[in-house]
Structure 1
Amino acid sequence: MRSLGNIRRSFAPWSDPNAKAMISIRNVTKRFGDFTAVDNLSLDIYEREFFALLGASGCGKSTLLRMLAGFETPNEGAILLDGVDLTGVPPYRRPLNMMFQSYALFPHMTVADNVGFGLKQEKMAKPAIAERVAQMLKLVKMSEFAGRKPHQLSGGQRQRVALARALAKQPKVLLLDEPLGALDKKLREETQFELTDLQYDLGLTFVVVTHDQEEAMTMADRIAVMDAGQIRQVATPAEVYEAPNSRFVADFIGSINLFDGEVTRSDAALTKLQSPEGFALRMVDGQSRSIGSRLTLGLRPEKIAVTHTKPDSGVNAVEGEVWDLAYLGDMSIFHVKLDSGKIIKASVVNASRSGSEVFTYHDRVWLSFAEDAGVVLER
């Protein structure tokens, strides 16, 4: 089956019915008083997978990560690692490690001592500790900073030290709680790719918690979109973006235009909707719909063309007025107000320095899109 979007590597154990999950979360519920943080949640994560738990603040993603680490205990359900139930196993006995958002480095220790702290606690021999610390610092390109204290490092350097310390004990699973939140935008983008390369080279399983959609889509093999303690969709980044399973996921991941409409024609190849805005929408659907039923078409801004003149085909085209616009260098963002009052967002890549068409406020423009550009959302 052809994948949606580009893929970083040919790795998809979740599509193999015979593959065994490394981490199996079974009907887990966690309550804090009357508040249910995680609600009857089940999830499988596979060995060597880079998995992201994505959601807004308070959705339960950090609570789930803390239960994996052993810092919280489920009220119901079980968490298994390689088939072994982790119930009652303390954090320091679990073959995993956690990297916190704050990094939690010891300010009075050198970089080398921070990285080797966990190994010292396990009473590893000093020569072995020194060798492992050297390996980890080389891995994260921090060897020359071994003798410095945390306050003598930049935010990005402290992040690397925390990562080296988390990896020093060679865990089966590395848990990362908003690991890049303290970094500036440019450094965060660079570190995202470094983390994915490192995870691939080490062959470890990474589970990251983040509220940053771009971060999750850049790093993860699969994403679990969470809301109110439940998982709304688990899929690859491209599938979550291009084929969301609900209005919630479609609206949460990226930007999207939603068109509600009534089915006026439908067969296995094409569905036609009449929108309240007064124009018809034709879309490739893949299944027959009942005439008169109501559906929602989700349409990403980059799928929409913006022109001064009406497209020759006239299909999926509607006229409006440029209500707002922004030039971002690599692309231009348009907010176009239809005659009905509905605002449509479109984005156009600035492929040419001069641009083939120039738009300004209050221009009358045409928006159009292909029949297979949108996704049908039933819930």
Structure 2
Amino acid sequence: MKPLGSIRRSFAPWADPAAKPYIVFENVSKVFGDFTAVDDLSLSIYEREFFALLGASGCGKSTLLRMLAGFETPTRGRILLDGQDLVGIPPYRRPVNMMFQSYALFPHMSVEDNIAFGLKQEGMPKAEIAKRVTEMLRLVKLEAFAKRKPHQLSGGQRQRVALARSVAKRPKVLLLDEPLGALDKKLREETQFELMDLQQDLGLTFMVVTHDQEEAMTMSDRIAIMDKGKVCQVATPAEIYEAPNSRFVADFVGSVNLFEGTVARREGSAAVIEGEGITIDTDNGSDAPAGAKVWYAVRPEKIKVSARAPEVMGPNTAEGEVWDIAYLGDMTLIHVRLPDGRVVRTSQLNRQRVVEEPLTWNDRAWISFARDSGVVLTR
């Protein structure tokens, strides 16, 4: 597949057939009574990758993380880390560390003592502990707070203390379970970039569990979308967003319009789809044959909405009326209701302070989109 979106960096070992995965889940299942939390799941993660497990509550992502950490034992299958089967190895013997949403800091200990705790448990010499703690404090920019107790810190500072404690032992893999869930929106956004920088500086493999789509899209090299204990798609953030492999993934990540229809004809990769109230002419026809039932997925920002009728009402255009409007400052969301009752979601960037063609409720409006705006889905 041709790369989609901007390239954050050249790091992409999953695209190299010769690259060896660092973490491997082989046909792993976890059953609790009559409930299957993880269902015959296979997944490969590479060294130094920032990997995200994204899904709704109860999809099995935290269970998967806990099995890698050693807090849960797979019912079936096996988990390998750097070629070593982890079966039977207790959590404290595994070269991984886990950071929880609650941070689990010791309230009676200072910041530096919290960071040093795991190192003392391992019997590291005092001089080395002091050196490592100083390095961690500098890394998370908390040198001035070394003597404070957790209750004297802000939420973001406590999060950084927990992070410093987690990486102080130099684990091969750092597992993060909803690490930013307790932070407010602005601080969460700032901390996302701090985590990315820290992961690059340390050269560790990060595996994060989150239900926050924006968090996963911002931080990770690749994302695994999970549902009912299974992996639905594994890809880069850009590929997940621009080229979802199913209606579930398209609908789960961001906002999307799904037009149902039938493939009328094919010409190479292009296809013409006869939908309800709209004909779609697309370059991205997938492999759906003529006569197949399909869904055309197109994101709201890819759809143009205008108060003026096009000169020619051809494919990829439809007439409707403005149903809902939401002004968000940087963009405006406009919902257009088509004659058949379908509501099409569009979003327009507010590039100028003055709108040349203002739209309001119940106005006639025309939507249109380019041939390469969306993707055809067969399931």
State the TM-score, normalizing by the size of structure 2. Answer: 0.98
SS in 1 for 2:47: coil
Give the stretch that moved more between structures: 279-288 or 72-81.
279-288
User: Are 2:132 and 1:129 aligned?
Assistant: no
Do the aligned partners of 2:51 and 2:221 also contact (CA within 8 Å) in 1? yes
Q: Distance in 1 between matches of 2:109 and 2:153?
A: 13
**Residue in 2 aligned with 1:208?**
208
**CA shift at 1:357, angstroms?**
2.2
Give the stretch that moved more between structures: 6-15 or 297-306.
6-15
Deviations 1:289-341 (A, max 9, x none): 53322111001000000111123453311011111110101100011111111
Count of residues in Structure 1 that have an aligned counterpart in Structure 2 = 378
Do the aligned partners of 1:267 and 1:287 also contact (CA within 8 Å) in 2? no
User: Are 2:308 and 1:309 aligned?
Assistant: yes
Do the aligned partners of 2:286 and 2:376 also contact (CA within 8 Å) in 1? no
Q: Distance in 1 between matches of 2:286 and 2:95?
A: 47
**Residue in 2 aligned with 1:178?**
178
Do the aligned partners of 1:225 and 1:231 also contact (CA within 8 Å) in 2? yes
**CA shift at 1:271, angstroms?**
1.1
Q: Distance in 1 between matches of 2:125 and 2:288?
A: 69
Do the aligned partners of 2:71 and 2:91 also contact (CA within 8 Å) in 1? yes
**Residue in 1 aligned with 2:293?**
294
SS in 2 for 1:108: coil
Q: Distance in 1 between matches of 2:375 and 2:311?
A: 24
SS in 1 for 2:336: strand
Deviations 1:221-255 (A, max 9, x none): 00000000000000000000000001110110000
**Residue in 2 aligned with 1:282?**
281
User: Are 2:117 and 1:114 aligned?
Assistant: no
What amino acid maps onto 1:233 in structure 2?
A: Q
**Residue in 2 aligned with 1:12?**
12
Do the aligned partners of 2:286 and 2:377 also contact (CA within 8 Å) in 1? no
1:133-282 equivalence runs, <5 A: 133-276=133-276, 278-282=277-281
What amino acid maps onto 2:128 in structure 1?
A: A
Q: Distance in 2 between matches of 1:200 and 1:311?
A: 49
**Residue in 2 aligned with 1:39?**
39
SS in 2 for 1:370: coil
Q: Distance in 1 between matches of 2:369 and 2:44?
A: 37
Q: Distance in 2 between matches of 1:173 and 1:288?
A: 39
Gaps of 5+ in 1: none
What amino acid maps onto 2:178 in structure 1?
A: E
Give the direction of change, closer, same or farther, for the CA distance of 1:270–1:90 in structure 2 (3 Å limit).
Answer: same
**Residue in 2 aligned with 1:73?**
73
**CA shift at 1:61, angstroms?**
0.1
Give the direction of change, closer, same or farther, for the CA distance of 1:87–1:269 in structure 2 (3 Å limit).
Answer: closer
Identity within the alignment, %: 67
State the TM-score, normalizing by the size of structure 1. Answer: 0.98
Deviations 1:252-281 (A, max 9, x none): 0000000000122221142111112x2211
SS in 2 for 1:265: strand
What amino acid maps onto 2:306 in structure 1?
A: T
Q: Distance in 1 between matches of 2:161 and 2:43?
A: 31
SS in 2 for 1:181: coil
Deviations 1:126-185 (A, max 9, x none): 111111001001000011000000000000000000000001000110000000000000
